[in-house]
Protein backbone atom coordinates (compact mmCIF):
# COMPACT_ATOMS: atom_id res chain seq x y z
CA UNK A 1 0.00 0.00 0.00
CA UNK A 2 2.87 2.36 0.79
CA UNK A 3 4.40 1.63 -2.60
CA UNK A 4 1.09 2.37 -4.31
CA UNK A 5 0.90 5.70 -2.51
CA UNK A 6 4.49 6.36 -3.48
CA UNK A 7 3.77 5.82 -7.19
CA UNK A 8 0.63 7.91 -6.95
CA UNK A 9 2.54 10.71 -5.23
CA UNK A 10 5.23 10.52 -7.90
CA UNK A 11 2.64 10.84 -10.69
CA UNK A 12 1.10 13.79 -8.85
CA UNK A 13 4.51 15.46 -8.50
CA UNK A 14 5.09 15.13 -12.24
CA UNK A 15 1.74 16.75 -13.00
CA UNK A 16 2.17 19.56 -10.48
CA UNK A 17 5.72 20.30 -11.66
CA UNK A 18 5.07 19.75 -15.38
CA UNK A 19 6.05 23.33 -16.31
CA UNK A 20 9.32 23.14 -14.35
CA UNK A 21 9.97 19.71 -15.84
CA UNK A 22 9.46 21.06 -19.35
CA UNK A 23 11.84 23.94 -18.75
CA UNK A 24 14.50 21.63 -17.32
CA UNK A 25 14.22 19.33 -20.35
CA UNK A 26 14.64 22.28 -22.74
CA UNK A 27 17.64 23.59 -20.85
CA UNK A 28 19.22 20.15 -20.55
CA UNK A 29 18.84 19.60 -24.28
CA UNK A 30 20.43 22.97 -25.08
CA UNK A 31 23.28 22.52 -22.59
CA UNK A 32 24.38 19.29 -24.29
CA UNK A 33 25.54 21.23 -27.33
CA UNK A 34 26.55 24.50 -25.71
CA UNK A 35 29.71 25.79 -27.38
CA UNK A 36 29.68 23.04 -30.00
CA UNK A 37 29.94 24.15 -33.64
CA UNK A 38 27.72 21.37 -35.00
CA UNK A 39 25.50 21.31 -31.92
CA UNK A 40 22.60 18.86 -32.15
CA UNK A 41 24.06 17.26 -35.27
CA UNK A 42 26.66 15.45 -33.13
CA UNK A 43 23.87 13.40 -31.57
CA UNK A 44 22.83 12.24 -35.03
CA UNK A 45 26.31 11.89 -36.55
CA UNK A 46 27.72 9.41 -34.02
CA UNK A 47 24.97 6.72 -34.28
CA UNK A 48 24.71 7.14 -38.07
CA UNK A 49 28.48 6.65 -38.46
CA UNK A 50 28.26 3.54 -36.25
CA UNK A 51 25.35 2.20 -38.32
CA UNK A 52 27.19 2.79 -41.60
CA UNK A 53 30.48 1.29 -40.38
CA UNK A 54 28.93 -1.83 -38.85
CA UNK A 55 26.59 -2.24 -41.81
CA UNK A 56 29.58 -2.09 -44.17
CA UNK A 57 31.45 -4.65 -42.05
CA UNK A 58 28.56 -7.11 -42.00
CA UNK A 59 27.68 -6.62 -45.66
CA UNK A 60 31.19 -6.53 -47.16
CA UNK A 61 33.17 -8.70 -44.72
CA UNK A 62 30.53 -11.20 -43.64
CA UNK A 63 28.35 -10.97 -46.75
CA UNK A 64 25.16 -10.59 -44.67
CA UNK A 65 22.09 -10.73 -46.88
CA UNK A 66 18.48 -9.77 -46.18
CA UNK A 67 16.96 -10.88 -42.87
CA UNK A 68 14.18 -13.42 -43.24
CA UNK A 69 11.09 -12.50 -41.24
CA UNK A 70 8.79 -14.96 -39.41
CA UNK A 71 6.43 -15.02 -42.39
CA UNK A 72 9.23 -15.65 -44.86
CA UNK A 73 9.49 -12.03 -46.03
CA UNK A 74 12.89 -10.59 -46.88
CA UNK A 75 13.86 -7.56 -44.77
CA UNK A 76 16.72 -5.26 -45.89
CA UNK A 77 19.61 -5.74 -43.47
CA UNK A 78 20.22 -1.99 -43.12
CA UNK A 79 16.61 -1.41 -41.97
CA UNK A 80 16.69 -4.36 -39.56
CA UNK A 81 20.06 -3.31 -38.16
CA UNK A 82 19.30 0.43 -37.90
CA UNK A 83 16.15 -0.19 -35.85
CA UNK A 84 18.15 -2.17 -33.31
CA UNK A 85 20.88 0.47 -33.10
CA UNK A 86 18.62 3.50 -32.61
CA UNK A 87 16.58 1.65 -29.96
CA UNK A 88 19.69 0.63 -28.03
CA UNK A 89 21.21 4.10 -28.46
CA UNK A 90 18.18 5.67 -26.75
CA UNK A 91 18.37 3.17 -23.90
CA UNK A 92 22.14 3.57 -23.43
CA UNK A 93 22.12 7.37 -23.62
CA UNK A 94 19.28 7.64 -21.11
CA UNK A 95 21.02 5.22 -18.73
CA UNK A 96 24.34 7.08 -18.80
CA UNK A 97 22.97 10.61 -18.52
CA UNK A 98 20.40 9.81 -15.82
CA UNK A 99 23.04 8.10 -13.67
CA UNK A 100 24.71 11.47 -13.01
CA UNK A 101 21.51 13.51 -12.71
CA UNK A 102 21.60 14.17 -8.94
CA UNK A 103 25.26 15.14 -9.16
CA UNK A 104 24.55 17.47 -12.08
CA UNK A 105 21.55 19.09 -10.43
CA UNK A 106 22.98 19.16 -6.92
CA UNK A 107 21.75 22.75 -6.45
CA UNK A 108 18.18 21.50 -6.83
CA UNK A 109 18.80 18.48 -4.61
CA UNK A 110 19.67 20.82 -1.74
CA UNK A 111 16.36 22.67 -2.08
CA UNK A 112 13.99 21.25 0.52
CA UNK A 113 10.78 21.91 -1.41
CA UNK A 114 11.89 20.57 -4.80
CA UNK A 115 10.68 17.08 -5.73
CA UNK A 116 13.98 15.64 -6.92
CA UNK A 117 12.47 12.25 -7.77
CA UNK A 118 11.41 13.75 -11.09
CA UNK A 119 14.97 14.73 -12.08
CA UNK A 120 15.76 11.42 -13.86
CA UNK A 121 12.76 12.10 -16.10
CA UNK A 122 14.54 15.22 -17.36
CA UNK A 123 17.28 13.04 -18.82
CA UNK A 124 14.83 10.45 -20.15
CA UNK A 125 12.75 13.05 -21.98
CA UNK A 126 15.85 14.84 -23.27
CA UNK A 127 17.12 11.57 -24.75
CA UNK A 128 13.65 10.82 -26.09
CA UNK A 129 13.71 13.99 -28.22
CA UNK A 130 16.77 12.63 -30.00
CA UNK A 131 15.08 9.24 -30.32
CA UNK A 132 12.12 10.85 -32.10
CA UNK A 133 14.52 12.32 -34.66
CA UNK A 134 16.00 8.87 -35.28
CA UNK A 135 12.56 7.31 -35.57
CA UNK A 136 11.84 9.82 -38.34
CA UNK A 137 15.11 8.82 -40.05
CA UNK A 138 14.25 5.13 -39.70
CA UNK A 139 10.83 5.67 -41.24
CA UNK A 140 12.57 7.42 -44.14
CA UNK A 141 14.91 4.42 -44.58
CA UNK A 142 11.99 1.99 -44.48
CA UNK A 143 10.05 3.93 -47.10
CA UNK A 144 13.16 4.24 -49.28
CA UNK A 145 13.69 0.46 -49.06
CA UNK A 146 10.08 -0.19 -49.99
CA UNK A 147 8.89 -1.49 -46.61
CA UNK A 148 5.09 -1.01 -46.55
CA UNK A 149 3.40 1.13 -43.91
CA UNK A 150 1.19 -1.05 -41.70
CA UNK A 151 -1.09 -0.55 -38.70
CA UNK A 152 1.50 -2.31 -36.52
CA UNK A 153 3.74 0.76 -36.74
CA UNK A 154 1.49 2.42 -34.14
CA UNK A 155 2.47 -0.36 -31.72
CA UNK A 156 5.91 1.21 -31.28
CA UNK A 157 4.24 3.70 -28.89
CA UNK A 158 3.67 0.81 -26.49
CA UNK A 159 7.30 -0.30 -26.68
CA UNK A 160 8.55 3.26 -26.15
CA UNK A 161 6.37 3.50 -23.03
CA UNK A 162 7.60 0.11 -21.81
CA UNK A 163 11.23 1.14 -22.27
CA UNK A 164 10.61 4.44 -20.46
CA UNK A 165 9.23 2.57 -17.45
CA UNK A 166 12.26 0.28 -17.40
CA UNK A 167 14.58 3.28 -17.73
CA UNK A 168 12.81 5.12 -14.91
CA UNK A 169 13.42 2.28 -12.47
CA UNK A 170 17.02 1.84 -13.57
CA UNK A 171 17.69 5.59 -13.38
CA UNK A 172 16.44 5.78 -9.79
CA UNK A 173 18.75 2.93 -8.82
CA UNK A 174 21.91 4.10 -10.60
CA UNK A 175 21.47 7.82 -9.81
CA UNK A 176 20.92 7.12 -6.10
CA UNK A 177 23.97 4.87 -5.90
CA UNK A 178 26.13 7.29 -7.90
CA UNK A 179 25.73 9.96 -5.23
CA UNK A 180 27.65 7.73 -2.82
CA UNK A 181 29.68 5.54 -5.22
CA UNK A 182 31.18 7.58 -8.05
CA UNK A 183 32.38 4.46 -9.89
CA UNK A 184 28.78 3.60 -10.76
CA UNK A 185 29.04 5.81 -13.86
CA UNK A 186 31.95 3.78 -15.24
CA UNK A 187 30.27 0.51 -14.26
CA UNK A 188 27.10 1.48 -16.15
CA UNK A 189 29.20 2.27 -19.24
CA UNK A 190 30.91 -1.13 -19.12
CA UNK A 191 27.63 -3.01 -18.65
CA UNK A 192 26.14 -1.16 -21.64
CA UNK A 193 29.11 -2.11 -23.83
CA UNK A 194 28.61 -5.77 -22.99
CA UNK A 195 24.86 -5.36 -23.34
CA UNK A 196 25.15 -4.10 -26.92
CA UNK A 197 26.85 -7.29 -28.09
CA UNK A 198 24.78 -9.63 -25.91
CA UNK A 199 21.55 -8.20 -27.37
CA UNK A 200 20.58 -9.23 -30.94
CA UNK A 201 21.23 -5.82 -32.49
CA UNK A 202 23.99 -6.53 -35.01
CA UNK A 203 23.43 -10.28 -35.17
CA UNK A 204 20.38 -12.46 -35.78
CA UNK A 205 18.97 -14.30 -32.77
CA UNK A 206 18.35 -17.37 -34.93
CA UNK A 207 22.09 -18.21 -34.83
CA UNK A 208 21.92 -18.85 -31.06
CA UNK A 209 21.65 -22.58 -30.20
CA UNK A 210 18.27 -23.53 -28.77
CA UNK A 211 19.72 -24.42 -25.36
CA UNK A 212 21.14 -20.88 -24.94
CA UNK A 213 18.21 -18.85 -26.24
CA UNK A 214 16.44 -18.77 -22.87
CA UNK A 215 19.38 -16.98 -21.23
CA UNK A 216 19.56 -14.29 -23.90
CA UNK A 217 15.84 -13.64 -23.52
CA UNK A 218 16.36 -12.76 -19.85
CA UNK A 219 17.69 -9.41 -21.07
CA UNK A 220 14.68 -7.02 -20.90
CA UNK A 221 15.97 -5.10 -23.93
CA UNK A 222 15.53 -8.25 -26.02
CA UNK A 223 11.77 -7.77 -25.67
CA UNK A 224 11.94 -4.09 -26.62
CA UNK A 225 14.19 -4.40 -29.67
CA UNK A 226 12.33 -7.47 -30.89
CA UNK A 227 9.10 -5.50 -30.44
CA UNK A 228 10.37 -2.53 -32.46
CA UNK A 229 11.30 -4.86 -35.31
CA UNK A 230 8.01 -6.71 -35.18
CA UNK A 231 6.17 -3.40 -35.29
CA UNK A 232 8.09 -1.84 -38.17
CA UNK A 233 9.25 -4.85 -40.19
CA UNK A 234 7.44 -8.09 -39.41
CA UNK A 235 3.82 -6.87 -39.25
CA UNK A 236 3.21 -8.65 -35.94
CA UNK A 237 1.27 -7.59 -32.85
CA UNK A 238 2.83 -7.94 -29.41
CA UNK A 239 0.27 -10.48 -28.25
CA UNK A 240 0.79 -12.85 -31.18
CA UNK A 241 3.85 -14.68 -29.80
CA UNK A 242 5.23 -12.49 -27.00
CA UNK A 243 2.74 -13.13 -24.19
CA UNK A 244 5.24 -14.84 -21.85
CA UNK A 245 8.03 -12.44 -22.80
CA UNK A 246 5.70 -9.52 -22.12
CA UNK A 247 4.73 -10.87 -18.70
CA UNK A 248 8.40 -11.45 -17.86
CA UNK A 249 9.37 -7.95 -19.03
CA UNK A 250 6.72 -6.21 -16.92
CA UNK A 251 7.52 -8.38 -13.89
CA UNK A 252 11.21 -7.43 -14.12
CA UNK A 253 10.34 -3.78 -14.77
CA UNK A 254 7.99 -3.67 -11.79
CA UNK A 255 10.64 -5.22 -9.52
CA UNK A 256 13.23 -2.69 -10.74
CA UNK A 257 10.77 0.16 -10.10
CA UNK A 258 10.12 -1.10 -6.55
CA UNK A 259 13.86 -1.37 -5.86
CA UNK A 260 14.31 2.15 -7.24
CA UNK A 261 11.56 3.60 -5.05
CA UNK A 262 12.82 1.86 -1.90
CA UNK A 263 16.42 2.88 -2.59
CA UNK A 264 15.46 6.48 -3.26
CA UNK A 265 13.43 6.74 -0.04
CA UNK A 266 16.27 5.31 2.06
CA UNK A 267 19.09 7.34 0.55
CA UNK A 268 17.30 10.64 -0.23
CA UNK A 269 17.78 12.16 3.29
CA UNK A 270 21.57 11.86 2.94
CA UNK A 271 21.91 13.36 -0.56
CA UNK A 272 22.45 16.94 0.56
CA UNK A 273 25.18 15.92 3.04
CA UNK A 274 27.18 14.06 0.36
CA UNK A 275 26.63 16.50 -2.50
CA 235 to chain centre: 22
| Better pLDDT: 109 or 266 | 266
Task: Report pLDDT for 77.
Answer: 81
Query: DSSP characters for 165-198?
Result: HHHHHHHHHHHHHHHH-TTHHHHHHHHHHHHHHH
Alpha helices, H only, 65-219: 77-99, 101-104, 106-109, 119-144, 156-180, 184-198, 210-216
| Better pLDDT: 133 or 113 | 133
Q: Is the pLDDT of residue 73 over 90?
A: no
Q: How many CB atoms lie within 10 A of CB 159?
A: 21
Distance CA 140, CA 231 (A): 15
Q: Is the pLDDT of residue 57 over 80?
A: no
Mean pLDDT of the chain: 84
SS3 1: coil
Task: Report pLDDT for 39.
Answer: 61
Task: Report pLDDT for 69.
Answer: 67
Q: Is the pLDDT of residue 154 over 60?
A: yes
Task: Report pLDDT for 205.
Answer: 85
Q: Is the pLDDT of residue 109 over 70?
A: yes
Q: Which helix (H) or strand (E) holds 199?
A: none
pTM over 0.85: yes
Task: Report pLDDT for 148.
Answer: 83
Q: Is the pLDDT of residue 134 over 60?
A: yes
Query: DSSP characters for 18-52?
Result: HHHHHHHHHHHHHHTTTT-SSTTHHHHHHHHHHHH
Most confident of 42-46, 91-95, 238-242: 91-95
Half-sphere exposure of residue 220: CA atoms within 13 angstroms, side-chain side: 21
Q: Give the number of domains in the chain.
A: 1
pLDDT band at 133 (very low <50, low <70, confident <90, very high): confident
Most confident of 58-62, 103-107, 110-114: 103-107
For 216-229, the pLDDT digits (tens) are: 999 999 999 999 99
Q: What is the greatest pairwise CA distance in the chain?
A: 60
Range of the structural domain that residue 193 is part of: 2-274
In angstroms, what CA-CA distances link 206 with 26, 66, 126, 212?
A: 42, 14, 34, 11
For 67, phi and psi rounded to 5 degrees? -85, 135
pLDDT band at 166 (very low <50, low <70, confident <90, very high): very high
Mean pLDDT (whole number) for 82-103: 92
Distance CA 87, CA 66 (A): 20
Amino acid sequence: MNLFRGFYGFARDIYENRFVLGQLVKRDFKNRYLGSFLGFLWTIIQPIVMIVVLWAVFILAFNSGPVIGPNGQEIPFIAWFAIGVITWNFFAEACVTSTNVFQEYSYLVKKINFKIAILPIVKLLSSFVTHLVFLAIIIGILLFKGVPITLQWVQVIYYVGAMMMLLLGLSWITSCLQVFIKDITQLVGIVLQFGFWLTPIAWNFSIVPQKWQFWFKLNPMFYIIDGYRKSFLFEQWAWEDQQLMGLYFWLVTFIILIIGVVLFRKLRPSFADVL
